Structure 1
Amino acid sequence: MNSSSDMDVIFHADSIKQSAEDTSRVIRAFRPLIVNEIFMSESIVNRTPIKPNTEFPDSLESIYCFTTIENLNASPQVITHKWWYENQYFSEIDIEVGRSYNWRCWSKISNLSDWPGLWKVFVSDTAGSQLDSISFVVKKVDSVGLRRVQ
């Protein structure tokens, strides 16, 4: 029986090339998601945020968190919009993000008249890593909607 020092180790060029391709595939499979843009808006029309802002009247039916995500992974990934109200967890929505340089997606909250105050939306990946966030304020307005009630 030969000792390990007497053994020849032979590498074939094809196996080295295949190993490099496999490694490259693994590296490409785990690209991080990137938030290109994040907006709060009054509505979404044709996948475009309408009237983006950081202050909204409580008379609106809904407010939307609109994000554009870069996902260069081979398969769809999931992001989460985590909604916080006055520094307290409120809700979260999982959103599937397809392969794209600029995947547009959004979530919304409704019934704002019950929730005036400071809001924040955190965008995170499935590992729980925070990718981005945005803050906004819902302002109480009078019944006519012309001025703020103090």
Structure 2
Amino acid sequence: MALWRCDLRVSWRSQLISLGIYGAVMLLILLAPWPPGYWPAWITLLLLMLFECIRSQRRITARTGEVILLDERRLIWRGQEWQLKHPVWMISHGALLSLRREKRKGGLAQAMRSSRHRLWLASDSMSVEEWRRLRQILLNCRPPNPKEQG
């Protein structure tokens, strides 16, 4: 039985914060006093920041879909079962979950995917009631047993 279930939406707050940070770094690169002849360096840095900004936006957009909290330490996300491996880091606008995927037979493609993820659940990616319920569950969650983490 599920303790909590939610269909996550895109977090606009996370997207705006990410855009603001990358925009500020790009502005610093543009306004920094570069010596003459260093234009390839600052163009390269600017392009790297731009591509990283796009990658960040895609990652934020990919954190959508159904999440089901089965018990205090397990959840289903992206159709796979995950375990919470570290205490949840929580602020008033979100929670960071450190996840490890359960070992399952799935062939080479399954083995090549990372078995660890950090999932940021932003409060604006769900309804107020869902966020309150999740916070209540996670704040009352017992810390992981060190023997289970091995």
TM-score band, normalised by shorter chain: under 0.3
Normalised TM-score (structure 2): 0.26
Higher strand share: 1
Computing the radius of gyration from Cα coordinates, the structure with the larger value is 1
The structure carrying a bigger helix percent of its residues is 2
**If the length of structure 1 is used for normalisation, what is the TM-score?**
0.26
Between 1 and 2, higher relative CO (CA 8 Å, sep ≥ 6) is seen in 2
